[in-house]
Chain A
């Protein structure tokens, strides 16, 4: 079995849906960090069957809105001195800014490159987000 060391201080993103770790790595711009990062895919999980885990060996500010948008079931663990000292609960954010791009060619964002791409939560049950400008659905997650 693959063994990955625990981190001394930093953040562990647990219960990531299997196969989604790279997407989260990209959404959170983790490639811009200099610290050690472990992306562990397809870990056995009693609850989920298989899951992904990301370990970041530094106490960085995570954009919880981005994580909540991608998957509100992810657990965010804060680690200090090799011990989990806190957990953050994720919620579906009411608004996400520049996380996804509006794909509607009729939307004003398609011709004004300086505009923020902002989506609002339109339906909590369906986890549906709509562009504030044209009301088109957010297509990628």
Chain B
């Protein structure tokens, strides 16, 4: 595979290869410190993103490679009206691999269609964010030591949360995975995910509004933010907002080995008191994001052999 545009482009075997390579990198970081010597990663970020960009850049630097690029559309030739295709063609002359974030859906695919070097989608609007999905899978793999036989609770904004949609698609491919979808009625998972992914593949799932009742059954609790602007009226937001804030009290019935995840940034949906709970893995998750990107860069450049 040349590019990574959609997380489902990767087969289960591809994901397995990347996660295993990430595991090897974590176990012996010095051994990978010069794998990308002389290679350059172009980070073409048409909109700001602190975590994803830094994670990509840290990944390439840690592999011994170099980085170049821009961090907003204002500092790119897009302001002069240059097309994505032309920008990508030019960057191809200077770099060995591209990571692109763009506010419009499909922009990284356009770049990938016009260059021979690998293109990684680093987030295209509300559409795909495959390296976040890989990060989530690595976090589950490393903390649970498996990707099958798990009950995954997804909580918060399940309607607009692209990380949630991608994770459901990716996890649905493993044996005996069950989903508990916890959200206010306004922010329930879209019908097409239910019909085309869950029902089509006979994946067990339940939809609930409160997390307390289902907490004891969860192996993973994936939190997302419930944003005020997603509600139709203020009264509903005020009525429901506290239901989706995770704190010690809500965790009373949770499993001892529950893993609490969050794609970050967190605002207030996880109380700070939870940060010190050993079940909270969201900061570790951010670190896994760097390692999985290291593995992905190596794999796409053919340097994993």
Q: Which residues of B contact A22 (CB under 8 A)?
A: none
Q: How far is the CA of A133 from the CA of B107 in the complex (A)?
A: 7
Q: What string of 1s and 0s marks CB contacts (under 8 Å) between B183-210 and chain A?
A: 0000000000000000000000000000
Residue in contact with B104 in the complex, picked from A110, A114, A132, A135, CB distance below 8 Å: A110
Contact assessment for B109 and A107 in the assembled complex, using a CB-CB cutoff below 8 Å: no
Whether A133 and B83, one on each chain, are in contact in the complex, defined by CB atoms closer than 8 angstroms, is no
Q: Which residue of A lies closest to B104 (CB)?
A: A108
Residue from A104, A108, A111, A133 having most chain B Cβ neighbours under 10 A: A108
Instruction: Give CA–CA (A131, B37) in the complex, Å.
Output: 38
Chain B contacts for A112, CB-based, 8 A = 83-85, 110
Which residues from chain A contact B85 at a C-beta distance below 8 Å?
A: 112, 114
- Chain B residue total in the interface (Cβ 8 A): 14
Given contacts A114-B83, A133-B105, A134-B105, contact A108 B110 (CB under 8 A): yes
A107→B102 CA distance, assembly (Å): 11
Residue of B nearest to A122 (CB): B196
Task: Give chain B residues whose Cβ lies under 8 Å from the Cβ of A135.
Answer: 105, 127
Contacts of A133 in B (CB 8 A): 105-107, 109-110
17 contacts between A and B (CB under 8 A): A104-B105, A106-B127, A108-B104, A108-B106, A108-B107, A108-B109, A109-B106, A110-B104, A111-B104, A112-B84, A112-B85, A112-B110, A114-B83, A114-B85, A115-B110, A132-B106, A133-B107
A107 in contact with B83 (CB, 8 Å): no
Q: How many A-B residue pairs have CB under 8 A?
A: 42
Q: How far is the CA of A131 from the CA of B84 in the complex (A)?
A: 18
Q: Interface residues, chain B, CB within 8 Å of chain A? A: 83-85, 102, 104-107, 109-110, 124-127
Enumerate the 3 nearest inter-chain pairs by beta-carbon distance, A residue then B residue, closest first: A133-B106, A134-B105, A108-B104
Give the docked Cα–Cα distance between A132 and B112 (Å). Answer: 12
Shortest distance in angstroms between B86's beta carbon and chain A's nearest beta carbon? 10
CA of A40 to CA of B14 in the docked complex: distance in angstroms? 55
- 5 additional A-B pairs beyond A108-B110, A112-B83, A115-B110, beta carbons within 8 Å, are A106-B126, A106-B127, A108-B84, A110-B104, A132-B109
Contacts of B83 in A (CB 8 A): 112, 114
Convert A83-122 into 0s and 1s, putting 1 for each residue whose CB lies closer than 8 angstroms to a CB of B: 0000000000000000000001011111110110000000
Given contacts A112-B83, A112-B84, contact A131 B106 (CB under 8 A): yes
The smallest C-beta distance from A104 to any residue of chain B, in angstroms, reads 7
Residues of A within 8 A of B125 (CB): 106, 134
CA distance A135 to B84 in the complex (A): 19
Residues of B within 8 A of A107 (CB): 104-106
The CB with the most chain A CB atoms within 10 A, among B106, B107, B124, is that of: B106
Min CB gap B107→A, angstroms? 5
Bound together, the chains give a CA A133 to CA B127 distance in angstroms of: 9
Name the A residues within 8 Å of B107 (CB-CB). 108, 133
Which residues does chain A contribute within 8 Å of B110, judged by CB atoms?
Answer: 108, 112, 115, 133
**Of A104, A112, A134, most B-chain CB atoms within 10 Å:** A134
Max chain A CB contacts within 10 Å: which of B85, B102, B105?
B105
Q: Residue of A at shortest CB range from B196?
A: A123
Residues in chain B near residue A115, CB distance under 8 A: 110
Q: Across the interface, which residues of B come within 8 angstroms of A134, CB to CB?
A: 105-106, 125, 127
